[in-house]
Amino acid sequence: MKSNCPGKPIFISVLILFASATQGADSQYSAPRGPDGVHPDLNGIWQALNEANYDLEVHMARKAMALREGPHGKVPAKKVLALGAVGAVPPGLGVVEGGKIPYKPEALAKKIENQENWLDRDPEIKCYLPGVPRATYMPYPFQVFQGQDSLFISYLYAGAVRDIFSKDPGPAPVDSWMGQSVASWDGDTLVLDVTGMNGDTWFDRSGNHHSDKLHVVERYTPMGPNHLHYQATITDPEVFTEAWKISMPLYRRMESNAQLLDFKCVAFVEELMYGAWRRKPLD
């Protein structure tokens, strides 16, 4: 087809060459060394910019699917969906490598049920700790503190933290919301092996779930001075037919005064969770 703009094909070619050159530069990027002088410096405040917290899989824009328990049983869905655009799900290209999460049939049925009852069941709504990997791609920043032989990650949401082992201490003594993380390095890639998580967290607001047999291996690779490539391999033989992966870029927060502020959300959900037991319910 003949273009009406003589310079358009050249412009597109330049863009393609520029993108290829940028990707090539990223693959050759060597990050500054961290406090130990050997491994890359990952210190900083990072954040994902995508729709993964709404739904890990590719999805179109939609109303929030939510049936809510009222004082006399389930209230009509149309009343809940009156949240309008605030309660809508924006479209997303998905972050699951291969496109689909490989659920077992019974686990897929539970996912669909979770999605239909999102407003009552999503742990995020109740300010429970988000778990791994969800803490990474919620719409809040997190901060990496990397010392000479120590690693700590602090999340804005709910004050969640991960104090990461540099040597494997063995199986976690008890399951927890954020699990037990053990660090190692694969070249310039930080690898976190995460086990010991309870089965109560979700992967997103669409009801994607797991059991307490969840095992996550995260990989953080510097791709430029201000972004990381993040990949997580997810294994759970009780829920999925095989291991699967998610991947996405993480971006450095660049504000001169960038910092994590307090978002202790427990106080904001007390009425939601316990208001029905008031002696005199609020109007």
Residue 84: what pLDDT? 77
Q: Would 256 be classed as within a structural domain?
A: yes
Domains of the chain: total:
1
Per-residue three-class SS string for 37-67: CCCECCCEEEECCCCCCCCCCCECCECCCEC
User: For residue 82, what pLDDT band results from cuts at 50, 70 and 90?
Assistant: low
Average pLDDT, the chain: 87
Q: Would 258 be classed as within a structural domain?
A: yes
Quote the CA–CA distance of 133 and 57 in Å, as a whole number: 15
Residue 27: what pLDDT? 63
Among 34-43, 82-91, 125-134, 207-216, the least confident range: 82-91
Residue 129, φ and ψ in degrees, nearest 5? -60, 145
Residue 96: what pLDDT? 98
Q: Would 283 be classed as within a structural domain?
A: no
Q: Does position 3 have pLDDT exceeding 80, yes or no?
A: no
Quote the CA–CA distance of 203 and 56 in Å, as a whole number: 8
Q: Would 70 be classed as within a structural domain?
A: yes
Amino acid at 31: A
User: For residue 63, what pLDDT band results from cuts at 50, 70 and 90?
Assistant: confident
Q: Does position 70 have pLDDT exceeding 90, yes or no?
A: no
Q: Which domain holds residue 46?
A: 33-277
Amino acid at 279: R
* Model confidence pLDDT, tens digit, residues 179-221: 999 999 999 999 999 999 999 999 999 999 999 999 999 999 9
User: For residue 281, what pLDDT band results from cuts at 50, 70 and 90?
Assistant: confident
- Flag whether the pTM goes above 0.75: yes
Q: Quick one: average pLDDT of 69-85?
A: 54
Q: Quick one: average pLDDT of 218-230?
A: 98
Q: Quick one: average pLDDT of 13-34?
A: 60
Residue 271: what pLDDT? 84
Q: Would 102 be classed as within a structural domain?
A: yes
**Cα–Cα distance list, 209 to 31, 103, 106, 264 (Å):** 35, 10, 12, 24
Residue 17: what pLDDT? 44
Q: Would 63 be classed as within a structural domain?
A: yes
Given CA atoms 122, 130, 178, 211 in this order, what sign does their dihedral have?
positive
Q: Quick one: average pLDDT of 74-78?
A: 49
Q: Which token pair is 140?
A: 């809040």
Which carries the bigger pLDDT value, residue 13 or residue 115? 115
Quote the CA–CA distance of 276 and 38 in Å, as a whole number: 56
Among 39-43, 106-110, 230-234, 278-282, the least confident range: 278-282
* Model confidence pLDDT, tens digit, residues 139-149: 999 999 999 99
Residue 55: what pLDDT? 98
Q: Would 176 be classed as within a structural domain?
A: yes
Give the other-Cβ count within 10 Å of 167's Cβ. 8
Quote the CA–CA distance of 129 and 135 in Å, as a whole number: 8
